[in-house]
Amino acid sequence: MEKVRKTEAEWRAQLSPEEFYVTRQKGTERPFTGRYWDTTTAGIYRCVGCGTALFASDTKFDAGCGWPSYFTPLNPDNVREEQDVSHGMRRTEVLCNVCDAHLGHVFEDGPPPTGLRYCINSLSMTFEPEA
């Protein structure tokens, strides 16, 4: 897997200001405002920074939290997890393993079969519907 590396100026030229804030500055969108939180169309969710396939629609579920939620990544090699101790709490951050974009966080309160909830910002993804 070849890493995608760009300068801050290159990322700013490619991404909207909101996408840059979320993916490069580890921001978050407000709940129930993202473009995919309630999407039910079949397809693949890709990284907005590099196009890497991240999540499939058949792993998406309504967690009631206002962000797109998935119980597993499409390919575990495409995402990376790191400890996040910001905001006075301990969480597990989820990043694109190809371009290091901040995607969201993963929690241990999801449905079977994994028991995980990948809580992902819509601004960190694009959506490719099934043909």
pLDDT tens, residue order, the chain (131 aa):
789 999 999 999 999 999 999 999 999 999 999 999 999 999 999 999 999 999 999 999 999 999 999 999 999 999 999 998 887 888 899 999 999 999 999 999 999 999 999 999 999 999 999 98
Catalytic residue list: 119
User: Would the annotation count 47 as a binding residue?
Assistant: yes
Model pTM score: 0.94
Of 39, 9, 5, 41, the residue nearest 120 (C-alpha):
39
The correct answer on CATH 2.170.150.20 for the domain covering 8-129 is yes
SS3 86: helix
CA distance readout (Å), 102 to 21, 73, 111, 112: 9, 15, 23, 25
User: Would the annotation count 65 as a binding residue?
Assistant: no
